[in-house]
């Protein structure tokens, strides 16, 4: 019996390892395609990294472009950039000459990651709480109130909600600071603003998943045996009920990452999103490429993590 269990466990772990390796290998051409498209698209945009309101003498501009290899043919620049990527070198920043792209990302990415984690906690806590509460009392005020708030949260984008939060809680009530990333109080409004919309999606998904599970026969059997309502929710229905939420975590994480562009601009947070916006305005090619690559890699790994969790919850997906 022990040997059978050990064989079964080893087979499951082998399937999980194959799943992870297969998805990691699939990510290489995906990221290469993203880098290639971004490389050529940013160069099709009008203007350049050294075009400014103040005229630069042609000979000086020519020397600057030669220094950054911008005078080489486009295909040569592309392959030189790929060679740098193989060494983990994202190149120099054109508009921040004192720093490389690696250094700028190293300084700003932890801020964006921290903001995304806080927003994800907000989304899961309030979303699951609202969805589970609504599923336990369908078609009552305990259902209508949180689902109405969830619908409002879905309809109001964060670039509208952010200024409203600043106006109400920062300028009118003066409860919270509206800019910066220094103390815990500075992080409350950005996290709530970024996580609100995703909390609304989590609430609706968890309500639907929980109601589907709660209607099954084994739930009625558990209640007939005298299991408390808390036991029914936590021990019998929660694992199956949150499966739609787990499936949503990949797109949600991607949305939290990309949504930080707007939030970091509204609340003046020194994160990677604000650096990306500035680099796009200044045509900083290497910074744009580095930021896109970091975000694409992070999103791909987050989706892989979600796939692994789904495979743990549903063994049928391990061979998919």
Is 1 among the domain residues? no
Share of the chain above pLDDT 90, in %: 1
Q: Can you list the alpha helix ranges (DSSP code H) found in the chain? A: 2-44, 58-67, 74-86, 101-136, 141-155, 158-165, 184-214, 217-224, 229-231, 238-241, 243-266, 272-282, 285-313
pTM of the model: 0.75
Question: Is residue 66 situated within a structural domain?
Answer: no
Q: Is residue 227 part of a domain?
A: yes
Position 11 confidence tier, pLDDT thresholds 50, 70, 90: very low
Contact by Cβ (8 Å): 90, 292: no
Provide the 10 A C-beta neighbour count for residue 231. Answer: 14
Residue 167 sits in which domain range? 108-317
Whether 148 maps to a domain, the answer reads yes
Average pLDDT, the chain: 79
Give domain status of residue 158, yes or no: yes
287 CB burial (10 A radius; 0-12, 13-18, 19+) = buried
What is the rounded CA–CA span in Å between residue 235 and residue 244?
A: 18
> Is residue 93 one of the residues assigned to a domain?
no
Q: 66 is written with which tokens?
A: 């030669």
Q: What is the mean pLDDT of residues 265-286?
A: 83
CA distances from residue 298 to 108, 134, 156 in whole angstroms, order as listed: 15, 33, 26
**Angle between helices 243-266 and 184-214 in degrees, nearest 10:** 160
Query: Taking the CA of residue 269 as centre, how many other CA atoms within 13 Å lie in the half-sphere pointing to its CB?
Result: 32
Number of domains in the chain: 1
pLDDT > 70? residue 313: no
Rounded-to-integer distance, Cα 67 and Cα 70, Å: 8
Mean per-residue pLDDT for 23-48? 84
User: Per-residue confidence at 90, pLDDT binned at 50, 70, 90?
Assistant: confident
Task: Give the residue carrying structure tokens 């698209």.
Answer: 41
Q: Is residue 305 part of a domain?
A: yes
Please enumerate in sequence order all residues whose Cβ is within 8 A of that of 292, keeping only pairs 6 or more positions apart, or say none: 34, 35, 38, 276
Asked whether the beta carbons of 153 and 127 are under 8 A apart, the reply is no
pLDDT tens, residue by residue, 199-249: 888 888 888 887 777 776 666 676 676 666 666 666 667 666 777 787 787
Per-residue pLDDT reduced to its tens digit, 15-34? 677 777 887 888 888 888 98
Query: 65 pLDDT exceeds 70?
Result: yes
Q: Which of 68, 74, 75 minimizes the C-alpha distance to 49?
A: 68
Kindly report, residue by residue over 172-185, the tens digit of the pLDDT: 888 888 888 888 88
Cα distance from N-terminal residue to C-terminal residue, the chain: 29
Name the DSSP class of 225: T
Which CATH number covers residue 188? 1.10.3720.10
pLDDT band at 64 (very low <50, low <70, confident <90, very high): confident
pLDDT recorded at residue 52 = 62
Torsion of CA 47, 49, 50, 53, to 10 degrees: 60
Q: 55 lies in a domain? A: no
Contact (Cβ atoms closer than 8 angstroms) between residue 31 and residue 289: no
Collapsed DSSP state (helix, strand, coil) of residue 97:
coil
């Amino acid at each position: 019996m022990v040997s059978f269990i050990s064989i079964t466990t080893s087979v499951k772990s082998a399937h999980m390892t194959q799943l992870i390796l297969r998805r990691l290998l699939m990510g290489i051409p995906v990221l290469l395609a993203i880098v290639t498209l971004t490389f050529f698209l940013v160069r099709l945009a009008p203007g350049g990294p050294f075009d400014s309101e103040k005229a630069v003498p042609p000979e000086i501009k020519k020397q600057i472009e030669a220094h950054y290899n911008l005078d080489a043919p486009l295909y040569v620049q592309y392959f030189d950039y790929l060679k740098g990527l193989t060494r983990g070198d994202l190149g120099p920043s054109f508009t921040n000459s004192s720093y490389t792209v690696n250094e700028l990302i190293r300084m700003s990415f932890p801020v964006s990651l921290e903001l995304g984690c806080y927003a994800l906690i907000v989304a899961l806590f309030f979303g699951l709480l609202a969805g589970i509460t609504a599923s336990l009392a369908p078609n009552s005020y305990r259902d209508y109130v949180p689902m109405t708030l969830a619908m409002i949260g879905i309809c109001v984008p964060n670039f509208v909600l952010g200024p409203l939060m600043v106006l109400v809680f920062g300028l009118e009530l003066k409860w919270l600071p509206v800019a910066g990333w220094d103390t815990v109080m500075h992080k409350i409004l950005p996290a709530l603003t970024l996580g609100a919309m995703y909390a609304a999606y989590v609430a609706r998904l968890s309500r639907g998943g929980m109601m589907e599970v709660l209607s099954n026969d084994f739930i009625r059997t558990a209640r007939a045996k005298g299991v408390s309502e808390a036991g029914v929710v936590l021990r019998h229905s929660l694992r199956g009920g949150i499966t739609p939420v787990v499936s949503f975590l990949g797109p949600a994480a991607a949305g939290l990452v990309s949504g930080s562009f707007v939030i970091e601009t509204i609340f003046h947070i020194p994160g990677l999103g604000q650096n990306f916006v500035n680099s796009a305005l200044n045509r900083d090619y290497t910074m744009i490429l580095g930021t896109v690559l970091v975000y694409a890699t992070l999103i791909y790994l987050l989706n892989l993590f979600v796939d692994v969790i789904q495979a743990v919850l549903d063994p049928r997906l391990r061979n998919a």
